[in-house]
């Protein structure tokens, strides 16, 4: 009788541990997939109204150019893939620049749904400082009239993808719509799930 009870308890414990392991494994792979989608923005832009962009920025130090595009994006951008709404407004003078970009489900009136940052020596002092999404990245935007192209390798996100396989989340974005510096533990896979919404940047979107 005691042997039977021990057997049933062991079996129940094994089932519980197995369920927990499978659940953790699914979450782990989901986060790795999200990290992979964050490594680059690449695709084409389209707008119903004429726009213009000629923009380069080695975030956070060298912003150069100007851009304004309010239309659609086809490709991989902002961690999403497909045809989606897209917005980009940027100004750069080398030592100062600012950029606002949104992919997919965003509202430029809600700062928490877009990426807004300043770069260059003066821009970094002024703030807001680039967040993990586009820190150490190289955005390129070319848009002439109604069509354009985007190519933005995101190097910190590439490192985040690789380190994610050993459980580190250096961009603080596992399970989050976007990363915020030290918004949660760097030990992403084993961190508790986020409980609060992503805070808005201290400085809102560009206003015209």
More confident residue, 104 or 7: 104
Q: Name the H helices within the chain.
A: 2-37, 120-126, 155-164
Residue 202: pLDDT band (50, 70, 90) is: very low
Q: Tell me the C-alpha distance between 8 and 132, whole Å.
A: 48
Q: Tell me the C-alpha distance between 208 and 71, whole Å.
A: 17
Query: Which residue in 202, 208, 201 sits closest to 114, CA to CA?
Result: 201
Mean pLDDT over residues 167-192, rounded?
A: 73
More confident residue, 86 or 185: 86
Report how many domains make up the chain: 1
Q: Is residue 79 part of a domain?
A: yes
Domain of 199, in residue numbers: 40-208
Q: Is residue 24 part of a domain?
A: no
Is the pLDDT confidence value at 197 over 90?
Answer: no
Q: Of 16-25, 99-108, 121-130, give the lowest mean pLDDT range.
A: 16-25
Tens of pLDDT, residues 125-152: 999 999 999 999 999 999 999 999 999 9
Q: Tell me the C-alpha distance between 79 and 82, whole Å.
A: 10
Q: Is residue 77 part of a domain?
A: yes
User: Helix (H, G, I), strand (E, B), or coil: what is residue 60?
Assistant: coil
CA 131 → CA 109, 116, 156, distances in Å? 19, 9, 11
Question: How many CA atoms, within 13 angstroms, populate the side-chain half-sphere of residue 161?
Answer: 15
Q: Tell me the C-alpha distance between 48 and 112, whole Å.
A: 26
| Percent of all residues in the chain with a pLDDT value above 90, rounded to a whole number | 63
pLDDT value of residue 198? 45
Query: Which residue in 119, 123, 106 sits closest to 70, CA to CA?
Result: 106
Q: Is residue 154 part of a domain?
A: yes
Q: Is residue 109 part of a domain?
A: yes
Is the pLDDT confidence value at 193 over 80?
Answer: no
Q: Is residue 207 part of a domain?
A: yes
Q: Tell me the C-alpha distance between 83 and 76, whole Å.
A: 9
Q: Is residue 176 part of a domain?
A: yes
Distance in angstroms between the alpha carbons of the first and the last residue of the chain: 79
Tell me the backbone φ, ψ of residue 148, rounded to 5 degrees: -160, -175
Q: Is residue 31 part of a domain?
A: no
Q: Tell me the C-alpha distance between 109 and 51, whole Å.
A: 20
| Percent of all residues in the chain with a pLDDT value above 70, rounded to a whole number | 75
Q: Tell me the C-alpha distance between 41 and 28, whole Å.
A: 23
């Amino acid at each position: 009788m005691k042997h039977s009870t021990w057997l049933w308890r062991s079996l129940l414990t094994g089932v519980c541990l197995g369920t927990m392991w499978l659940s953790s494994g699914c979450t782990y792979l989901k986060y790795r997939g999200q990290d992979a989608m964050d490594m680059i923005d690449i695709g084409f832009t389209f707008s119903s109204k004429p726009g213009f962009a000629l923009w380069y920025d080695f975030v956070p130090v060298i912003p150069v150019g100007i851009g304004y595009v309010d239309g659609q994006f086809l490709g991989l951008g902002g961690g999403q893939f497909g045809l989606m709404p897209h917005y980009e407004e940027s100004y750069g003078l080398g030592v100062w620049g600012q950029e606002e970009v949104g992919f997919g489900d965003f509202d430029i009136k809600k700062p928490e749904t877009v990426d807004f940052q300043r770069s260059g020596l003066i821009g970094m002092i002024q703030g807001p400082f680039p967040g993990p999404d586009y820190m150490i990245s190289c955005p390129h935007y070319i848009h002439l009239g109604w069509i354009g192209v985007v190519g933005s390798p995101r190097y910190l996100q590439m490192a985040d993808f690789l380190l994610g396989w050993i459980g580190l989340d250096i961009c603080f974005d596992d399970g989050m719509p976007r990363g915020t510096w030290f918004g949660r533990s760097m030990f992403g896979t084993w961190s508790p799930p986020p409980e609060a919404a992503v805070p808005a940047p201290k400085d809102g979107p560009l206003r015209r």
